[in-house]
Structure 1
Amino acid sequence: MPQSKLLLLSTCLAITFLFGCGSMTYPDVNVDPAKNNKATFQQDAIVCARSYPSSDSGAHFKERISCMNLKGWR
């Protein structure tokens, strides 16, 4: 019986983690129509990626999204 509870708990935690991470969407539309193109998006994404390098904790995703939001991407 304890093993089934542990399995249920770990399954629930894994599902919660996946849905929690999935709620962060990377911005892909700029509020300025002149900047709303693939080249500008790639340039801004590279700048944000260099500013916030990858980390084991995954905190860089939130920082990169915030960086893109500051550049007008929603």
Structure 2
Amino acid sequence: MRLLFSVLLGVVVVACAGFPDENVDPTKNNKATYNKDLKECREDYPEQGSGVHYRQWIGCMKLKGWK
């Protein structure tokens, strides 16, 4: 049980560390646009118990121009 928890915690930390936060388009590089895009990605890829949704959100944000 501890091993599983440790692995899941490690995956979450690594996924969050690589989350895109800057847009290649300077006009979209603001908090409102970021929140809107992240909300859309969260709607497209709902949370899952395995944590795979973090990678899906990151991929979605990268498609929207966030790096």
Please give the range of the TM-score, normalised by the shorter of the 2 chains: 0.7 to 0.9
Which protein has the larger Cα radius of gyration, Structure 1 or Structure 2? 1
- 2:55 pairs with 1:70: no
TM-score w.r.t. length of structure 1: 0.73
Tell me what 1:54 maps to: 47
Normalising by structure 2, what TM-score? 0.79
Runs ≥4 residues deviating over 4 A:
none
**Does structure 1 residue 21 correspond to structure 2 residue 19?**
no
Question: What's the C-alpha RMSD, in Å, of the aligned pairs?
Answer: 1.8
What is aligned with 1:40? 33
Contact persistence 2:25–2:65 (CA under 8 A) = yes
Alpha-carbon separation, structure 1, partners of 2:64 and 2:27: 13
Give the partner amino acid of 1:47.
Answer: E
Unaligned runs of 5+ in 2: none
Gapped runs of 5+ residues in structure 1? 1-6
